[in-house]
Amino acid sequence: MKFYHFLESILLVMYEVYKALGSGSFGQVYKCFDHKRKNSVAVKIVRSTPKVAQSAQIEADILLHLNSISGPGNSNIIKLLNYFEFRGHQCVVFELCSLSLYDILKKRKFKGLTCSQVKPIATEVLMALNFLKENKIVHCDLKPENILLSGDNSERIKLIDFGSACYEGKGCYTYIQSRFYRAPEVLLNASFGSPIDMWSFGCIIHELLCGYPLFPGNPLS
C-alpha cells in the first residue's frame, strides 16, 4: 500500500487513479484519467532502481522514435503520451488498451482459438514486426502478455513493453526474451537480430491455437 500512497501523491494533480492494471519487477501500471487530455490512459510507475530506470528510459526513447515514423504497422505500436520523473521514479504514460492475448487464453481456460480467430491477430502482429524490422529495432520480449487488443471488441493489436528492445546490432542486455519464447540464438549466446522476434511470433501462434506453450522451458533456465 505504501507504493499506492506514493502514487496518489504524484498523480492526483495530473491524473485521477481508477484502478491497478498490473504489476511486475518493473513496478506497477494503473488506469488513470488524464485531466489534460480528458481521456483514460495507462500510467506505468517504475521502481527506483538503476537497472529498471534505464529500461524505462530505453523504452521511452525507442517509442518516441517509432511513434514519430509513419507507415504500415505504426498503428500496431503502443503510443507513448508522456514521460517524466518524480522523486526518483520514472513515470511512463501510454494510450489505454484492452486485454492481452494471455488474458484472452486465460478467460477461455486455455482452450485454443480457431484459425479464423487467430488469422487477423497474426496479420496485425506481422505488420508490427515488419515495421520494427524496417526501422532496425528488435523487440526482444515478444509474448502473449505483451500483445494487447486495441479495444474490447477489436482485432487490432498493439505491441507493448519495449523495455528490453534494442537497435539491430546494439543489444543492451545479456538476458532477454521470456523462456517459453526464447530463440536459439539467445540460448546459445550468439549474435541476434529481428529473426528472434519471428521465432517468438511462431511460438505465440502455436499457443493461441493450442492453448499451451510450444516450448514450456525449465523454470531454472
Known catalytic residues are 141
* Annotated binding-site residue? 44: yes
User: What are the phi and psi torsion angles at 181 (to 5°)?
Assistant: -120, 20
Query: Amino acid letter at 90?
Result: Q
DSSP class of residue 77?
B
DSSP class of residue 175?
S
Cell of 212: 499451451
Q: Which of 72, 71, 90 is nearest to 82 (CA)?
A: 90
Q: Which of 205, 196, 197, 203 is nearest to 217 (CA)?
A: 203
User: What are the phi and psi torsion angles at 162 (to 5°)?
Assistant: -100, 25
Per the annotation, binding residues for ATP are 44
Per the annotation, binding residues are 44
